[in-house]
Amino acid sequence: MSNPAPLSFVHRYEPAAQAGAPPLLMLHGTGGDENDLLGLGRMISSGSALISPRGKVLEGGMPRFFRRLSEGVFDEDDVRARAAELAAFVTEAREAYGLAAPVAVGFSNGANIAAATLLLQPGVLAGAVLLRAMVPLADPPPAELGGVPVLLLSGAMDPIVPVSNAERLAGQLRAAGASLDHQVLPAGHGLSQADVNLARQWIAGPARAAA
């Protein structure tokens, strides 16, 4: 791992090991940090550069990417501000490390901020793997994603994200023009080997083709 540049988020950076592999923006869930998803990044795309920031919002001492008012109820003004903040960090990181636009790989809260960034800051992300994401904005502004590839993996038995909520997010992304693959897995909120396998196949296929 190389020493991270002094950017606006505490983060980890690992340079690419393979030409043509899309850089991955790893976005942890509640209580995670910049180290949390590096192993997942290596598993799903071993040649990719990895940029992994730590969320700046603390909830009971646990890092998150935006505030929530209660379980599943988000501070949408904060969501909008934090999506802009993350987009600015992506620009900084691209300049500092010489990266192409990254594919976000987010879990739970990280997936939610990735979805919000797609809808609020089109053009910042080259695509996204959204693991257990839910609707971050009740009424997002019109966006034109122009076929940006997105993989949304939901859990049929997820106690935090009802499938109906994930389907609403899928509808928002499709309406914005994303090239969406939404799959509901026989899983809960935690990640399974199926998530890893599907994400690996998707990054090697649609995400790389769009890079």
Catalytic residue among 108, 139, 179, 192: 108
Coil vs helix vs strand at 22? coil
The radius of gyration computed from the CA coordinates of the chain, to the nearest angstrom, equals 15
In sequence order, what are the beta bridge partners of 128? Answer: 104, 150
Contact between 42 and 24 (Cβ < 8 Å): no
Whether 182 is a known active-site residue: answer: no
Whether 181 is a known active-site residue: answer: no
Q: Alpha-carbon distance 151 to 153, whole Å?
A: 6
Catalytic residue among 45, 48, 158, 195: 158
Q: Catalytic amino acids?
A: 108, 158, 189
